[in-house]
């Protein structure tokens, strides 16, 4: 039997209500006070429920919140870079401030979980914004959410009645399932790749270089809430399925979604993403340039440099760092600044804006930048979106 990497904190948490408990819990929900939570929170609930946020079993209490913000660790010393909190506004605070258990509901007013309230505290939101996101600028999407979501945090363990993320259920495998699959396949060294974009040639190069050194690749795109200008999840899923089918070995790859919301926390989110992949059973994790970045809030390689602050054994997953990659006409193939001696005139590098302009006009970007099959999916989706 294959021995897998230990999850963060030593054990995968399962926070779903058992089938035998479900009828009584559903009945209890009807008698509890309730609050409706955001899509961000629904994604966090899913990540807690499937064990991806292990060792968390719910929303962090104040001692952990303070330690995470100040030291990137839980109060017990375990590395954890971003507080997972449930913020509430004043109306909801007044509604539940004396309760021990409450029901959490989705925007259809359907119960999704019971929260056992540990405490309610007032977070220092500006300090959190500065420490986690390196800015208090509300133009940063996560800072805007943070400063507007409410001035109180409710902490405590959760019990999920059902999955709170229902897209692509056949790919939402969860940590226990991927670990079981890795054992069955005999995979000992598995590299994970995080993305919120379609896989283009530079990504493909990273994945294949990494795959040369391990047993298998888990393509693990973020499918929760992203920025409004990101490509829709269903379109990206078509791209992922196509690239793996046509250009990767089927017996050494796995497509699995991560039902998390992007926080665009750059370096600190890179740490969280590494921990999550460790929980899924991956032994290696690719960190590229500007990982989980947005705007100009982080330096190009800050998400790689931050890992120097920890001892490798503390994090427990092997990190693979890559420079910016591109097609070089002089080399006649993919390269990076580490491997290519030629100047930029030989490099095929297109901005995101330029690529979007080409796709909207129905023009295929050069094959050195993206596979034609992927470009066609994106062009067709833009035609549909424009009502063509």
Q: What does each of the 388 residues of the chain score in pLDDT, given as a tens digit?
A: 568 999 999 999 999 999 999 999 999 999 999 999 999 999 999 999 999 999 999 999 999 999 999 999 999 999 999 999 999 999 999 999 999 999 999 999 999 999 999 999 999 999 999 999 999 999 999 999 999 999 999 999 999 999 999 999 999 999 999 999 999 999 999 999 999 889 999 999 999 999 999 999 999 999 987 776 778 899 999 999 999 999 999 999 999 999 999 999 999 999 999 999 999 999 999 998 889 999 999 998 999 999 999 998 999 999 999 988 999 999 999 999 999 999 999 999 887 778 888 888 999 999 999 999 999 999 998 876 554 3
SS3 of 174, please? helix
- The pTM for the full model equals 0.95
pLDDT of amino acid 387: 44
Number of structural domains found in the chain: 2
Catalytic residue set: 196-197
**HEC secondary structure over 200-226:** CHHHHHHHHHHHCCCCEEEEEEECCCC
Of the residues 118, 133, 160, which one is the last residue of a structural domain?
Answer: 160
pLDDT of amino acid 2: 62
User: With the C-alpha atoms ordered 310, 260, 156, 180, is the resulting torsion angle positive or negative?
Assistant: negative
Of the residues 160, 179, 214, which one is the last residue of a structural domain?
Answer: 160
Give every strand in the sheet of 325-328, ordered side by side: 333-336, 325-328, 347-348
Give the H or E element holding residue 24. helix 22-29
- Is position 7 within any domain? no
- Is position 13 within any domain? no
pLDDT of amino acid 384: 63
Whole-number mean pLDDT of the chain? 94
Distance CA 34, CA 57 (A): 20
- Domain region containing 184: 169-385
Distance CA 207, CA 185 (A): 20
Instruction: Give yes or no: residues 315 and 238 share one domain.
Output: yes
Return the CA Rg of the chain: 21
CATH number for the domain including 358? Answer: 3.40.50.620
Instruction: Give yes or no: residues 293 and 360 share one domain.
Output: yes
Instruction: Give yes or no: residues 26 and 136 share one domain.
Output: yes
Residue 345, both tokens:
């005139």
- Is position 135 within any domain? yes
Instruction: Give yes or no: residues 121 and 205 share one domain.
Output: no
115 and 88 Cβ atoms separated by less than 8 Å: no
pLDDT of amino acid 385: 56
Instruction: Give yes or no: residues 144 and 278 share one domain.
Output: no
Of the residues 126, 141, 160, which one is the last residue of a structural domain?
Answer: 160
Instruction: Give yes or no: residues 288 and 173 share one domain.
Output: yes
pLDDT of amino acid 312: 87
Instruction: Give yes or no: residues 205 and 136 share one domain.
Output: no
pLDDT of amino acid 388: 37
């Amino acid at each position: 039997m294959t021995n897998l990497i230990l999850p963060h904190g030593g054990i995968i948490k399962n926070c779903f209500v058992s089938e035998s408990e479900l009828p009584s819990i559903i009945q209890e929900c009807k008698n509890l006070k309730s609050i409706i939570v955001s899509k961000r929170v629904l994604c966090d609930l899913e990540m807690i429920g499937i064990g991806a946020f292990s060792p968390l079993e719910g929303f962090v209490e104040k001692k952990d919140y303070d330690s995470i913000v100040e030291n990137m660790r839980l109060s017990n010393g375990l590395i954890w870079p971003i507080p997972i909190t449930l913020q509430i506004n004043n109306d909801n605070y007044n509604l539940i401030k004396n309760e021990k258990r409450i029901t959490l509901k989705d925007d259809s007013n359907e119960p999704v979980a019971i929260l056992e309230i540990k405490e309610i505290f007032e977070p220092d939101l500006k300090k959190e914004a500065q420490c986690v996101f390196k800015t208090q600028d509300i133009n940063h999407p996560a800072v805007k959410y943070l400063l507007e979501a409410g001035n109180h945090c409710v902490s405590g363990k959760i019990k999920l009645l059902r999955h709170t993320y229902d897209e692509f259920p056949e790919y939402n495998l969860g940590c226990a399932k991927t670990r079981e699959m890795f054992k069955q396949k005999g995979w000992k060294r598995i590299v994970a790749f995080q993305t919120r974009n379609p896989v283009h040639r530079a990504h493909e190069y990273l994945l294949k270089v990494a795959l040369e050194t391990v047993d298998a690749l888990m393509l693990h795109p973020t499918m929760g809430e992203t920025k409004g200008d990101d490509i829709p999840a269903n379109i990206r899923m078509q791209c992922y399925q196509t690239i793996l089918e046509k250009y990767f070995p089927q017996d050494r790859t796995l497509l699995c979604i991560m039902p998390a919301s992007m926080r665009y926390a750059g370096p600190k989110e890179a740490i969280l993403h590494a921990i999550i992949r460790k929980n899924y059973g991956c032994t290696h994790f690719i960190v590229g340039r500007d990982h989980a970045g947005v705007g100009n809030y982080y330096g190009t390689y800050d998400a790689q440099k931050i890992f120097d602050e920890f001892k490798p054994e503390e994090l427990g997953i092997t990190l693979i760092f890559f420079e910016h990659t591109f097609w070089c006409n002089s080399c006649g193939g993919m390269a990076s600044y580490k491997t290519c001696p030629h100047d930029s005139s030989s490099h095929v590098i297109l901005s995101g804006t330029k690529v979007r302009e080409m796709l909207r006009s129905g023009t295929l970007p050069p094959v050195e930048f993206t596979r034609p099959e992927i470009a066609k999916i994106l062009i067709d989706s833009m035609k549909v979106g424009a009502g063509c």
